[in-house]
A and B are shown apart, each in its own frame.
Chain A
Amino acid sequence: MTDKITVEHLYKIFGPDPEEALALIREGLDKDEIFARTGNTVGVRDASFTVKEGEIFVIMGLSGSGKSTMVRMFNRLIEPSSGSITVDGRDITKLDEAGLRDLRRTTISMVFQSFALLPHIKVIDNVAFGLELAGMGREERRERALAALEQVGLAANAESYPDELSGGMQQRVGLARALAADPPILLMDEAFSALDPLIRSEMQDELIRLQEEKKRTIIFISHDLDEAMRIGDRIAIMQGGVVVQVGSPDEILKNPANEYVRSFFRGVDISKVLTAADIATKTQVTIIDKPEQGPRAALRLLGDFDREYGFVIGRGRRFAGVVSLASLEQARRDDAPLDAALMPETATVLPTAPLHELMGVVATSPHPVPVVDEQGRYRGVVSRTSLLQALDNLPAESAPVEADAVAPVAAAGE
């Protein structure tokens, strides 16, 4: 993916004398000291990162950490004190008035926490507002506004006034207004924070759906970790104006940069964040299913590794089923092929299933539950132990026996 927005050494100082504050920053003073010494507030401090085309980039941080300041510098509602912001290869901090208006009308639009709709005009005219400012004719802009309203499922309310709609609907209008000019970049400053939890997750789904229809680059501010994990492709964490970590949710979760970041994730419900694929182990005995193969080799393999169950894999790592010592023994006595030893009705789980959905299956299954993707490929197993360890937030360790359990695959394959 190409870089859409590149931020380099970006600073924002609010207050009477930004130069003085910048000098103190170079001396290494922190936000509070600088405020005490000069009365200047450090909004953003030496931020450098890139946002890739088509991703949802979430900015998180405590109140006052500079999230809104950061995102408002992207469309220069707030003027940066120093540094550069490059959008599609163009440094937007150098744009003049007209260039800036053009950028705001065509390239970057914004959704606000407080909706910020115009109360005196109808929903459709609100949605068409940006197009109107750009000088588009009434018929054409209404047509496009209606199309944008359709995208968010509000076409029926086009002729209402904003205050006749619920909060969730108003924010859909806000979203439609931002989509109307079809900009490649959307800035969303806590866009869903004012909505109640149910509507909020509905809106998140809506955003993901829109993103599937057409990839936009979305910068999404949130102070809700669940939201960030749910919709974010990558997350940037801000602390006192500094971007302390940028990475995918998993990376940050597994490898927090500092105590501040860790404390953010402390309250996380791991069972909703981690998926079966994250904790699946491949340390079980796997048996390659070949047509001429009988149950004997498999029996010996299980015996060697002191295991009760084996996982049978066909061509292309296709999962075939589970065999147990007992079923293999039965097949040997009947002189039947390996297939006959497969246990009936084996439960499997998808790699994308979150942990909390696994508990029931794992608890009732006599053996570790195989993880099988949509294409039917074997991706490992989730055992009771690994699930409990993950839920307990312990690092998953593998037992010594399982350490070289891949070997039997080769052995069985011979």
Chain B
Amino acid sequence: MQTLSFNPLYPFETLEIPFDDWVEVVFDWVANARPVFQAIRQPIDWVLEGITDLLLFLPPGLMIVLLALVAWQVVGGRLALGTALSLFFVGLIGAYEQSMVTLALVLTAVFFCTAIGVPLGILAARSDRFETGLRPVLDTMQTTPAFVYLVPIVVLFGIGNVPGVIVTIIFAVAPLIRLTNLGIRQVPKDVIEAANAFGASGRQLLFKVQLPLATKTIMAGVNQSLMLALSMVVIASMISVGGLGQMVLRGIGRLDMGLAVIGGVGIVVLAIVLDRMTQALASSERERGGRRFVERGPIGLVRGLTAGRSASAAAAATQRGG
């Protein structure tokens, strides 16, 4: 066996950095901190359990009606009808339960995206240095292929729904942070100056001026997070996350076109319904004819009816009296 001498034309035959080994060493070390990662799992586990139980607790017929009512309240009658029909269709093709699981996963992910992303976005808007530091992290999160961090996540958190939500959060939180930052930075300077001139404290400035004026942009961020979370569903199922993604993955694995398409249709239906709802939430009361949330939709109807009944009861009472 002869030893190779260093040849500058073929440097890599003799030179090598054991990068993969290093990474493993780091991860072995990090894995020692398991309790920390278990602690991170906990809250996600609770929220996910809660939402899943809620969605699967009601019988499908009732649940579809309830979701349609929510769509009516948030957006309007047409989306309510669309929601009911498409969920009914998803049920008919045999994917109802899976779509509820996926819905729970996505909602959990978005819940945590908001809880993490909005405060980070606010901090980034307040400090240029923090923003400069955060930007490469966000770039990395958005461009790194999900497959790359799937492995370390499994090492640290194991497999199943909760790690799936964590992967989804990592993938989906970046645009929300960016858009929150942008929304707050876009608040006109003169309005900020006016608020300061009238004696606003830091908190008042944030809650009475910056956040309200950034709401639209922040809601666009929530919407983006939601869509990205949905697009992660199939990849997340590779670490044995249940739901529609699992159907698609199994369909592909078995070359079962039917199964894959059923899962796909379910994802698309959820995407459309959720997209409409978050977009509607982003528009202000005023853009929707000035009627307050509780004066619209089913809640408004119920309120109107009860008010009407008590009014007519009162009228009847006075008639009897008179």
Please list the residues of chain A having a beta carbon within 8 angstroms of any beta carbon in chain B.
75, 77, 100-105, 109-110, 112, 114, 116-121, 129-130, 132-134, 161, 177, 187
Contacts and interface: CB of A to CB of B under 8 A. Distances in A.
A133 B194 contact: no
A4 B284 CA distance: 44
B199 A130 contact: yes
A56 B201 CA distance: 30
Contacts of A119: 213
Contacts of B200: 101, 133
Given A112-B190, A114-B190, A161-B286, A77 B196 contact: yes
Contacts of A102: 199
Given A118-B209, A120-B213, A132-B208, A109 B190 contact: no
Report whether over half of chain B's contact residues are helix, strand or loop; otherwise say mixed.
Answer: helix
Nearest to A180: B198
B119 interface: no
A373 to B, nearest CB: 42
16 contacts: A103-B199, A109-B197, A110-B194, A110-B198, A112-B193, A114-B190, A116-B190, A116-B193, A117-B191, A118-B212, A118-B213, A120-B213, A129-B198, A130-B198, A133-B204, A177-B198
Interface of B: 188, 190-191, 193-201, 204, 208-209, 212-213, 215, 284, 286
B197 A120 contact: no
B198 to A, nearest CB: 4
Q: 3 tightest A-B contacts by CB?
A: A104-B199, A105-B199, A116-B194
A116 B188 contact: yes
Contacts of A120: 212-213, 215, 284
B210 to A, nearest CB: 11
A129 B208 CA distance: 9
A218 to B, nearest CB: 15
A110 B195 CA distance: 10
Contacts of B193: 77, 112, 116
Contacts of A105: 198-199
Nearest to B201: A101
Given A77-B197, A101-B199, A129-B198, 5 more contacts: A77-B196, A117-B194, A120-B213, A130-B198, A133-B198
A407 B284 CA distance: 80
A130 B196 CA distance: 10
A130 B208 CA distance: 11
A75 B194 CA distance: 11
A161 B286 CA distance: 9
Contacts of A118: 191, 195, 209, 212-213
Contacts of B188: 116
Contact of B198 (A109, A114, A161): A109
A75 B191 CA distance: 16
Contacts of A161: 286
B290 to A, nearest CB: 10
A104 B198 contact: yes
Nearest to A110: B197
Nearest to A108: B197
Contact of B197 (A75, A121, A134): A75
